[in-house]
Amino acid sequence: MKKLLITLLLSLSIISSSSYGEELNSLFGINLYENAEKYFSSNFIDSNKIDRVETLGGFYALNITNKVKNKSPYANYYDITIDGNNIVHDIYGSSELIDLEKCQDVREKLTSDLEAKNQIEFGYFEEPYLEFKTYSNYYYSNEDNYLSIQCKEIYGESYALLQIYITSPVLGDAIDDYYESGL
């Protein structure tokens, strides 16, 4: 029990924000809207960025798993999305948990703790897709940054994917444009 409490308290430290939920714009020690070169060398960025699949262009995904310094006990994979000027528009962490029930327990606890810490209220939705179903708690900040803590149940798999991410409205609009384009 003590180990679980310590782990949960450590996990809250991955999300830094202004007091009382004014702005949630940071995960894993990385801030939205900052130049990624603050955290990673330009050589690393240029050598490892790839086109972000869910946009029509102008955004790049960068796997930072081996470079991120402020790791969470609930994520073992990390990436960011940057624009052509290396400005961060998305910060993402995920991990595979043993099953959906464990993932749901973690998602609910993290959401509850963040609501209490930041005096905010998350929304909730479940969405079935062809190959998976998401169970998502989400929050829009004053700047319309989208924070999500979700479980992804992948049909036919024994594990569930815990995902924690924050996305700028600019990237959110670019993703919407991609899906509205029919691609």
Nearest residue to 75 via CA among 86, 87, 63: 63
This prediction's pTM: 0.86
Number of residues in the chain: 183
User: Which structure tokens are listed for 4?
Assistant: 């679980």
Q: Is the pLDDT of residue 162 over 90?
A: yes
In the predicted model, what is the mean pLDDT of residues 35-54? Answer: 97
Q: Is the pLDDT of residue 10 over 70?
A: no
Share of the chain above pLDDT 90, in %: 78
> CA-based angle 22:26:30, to the nearest 5?
155
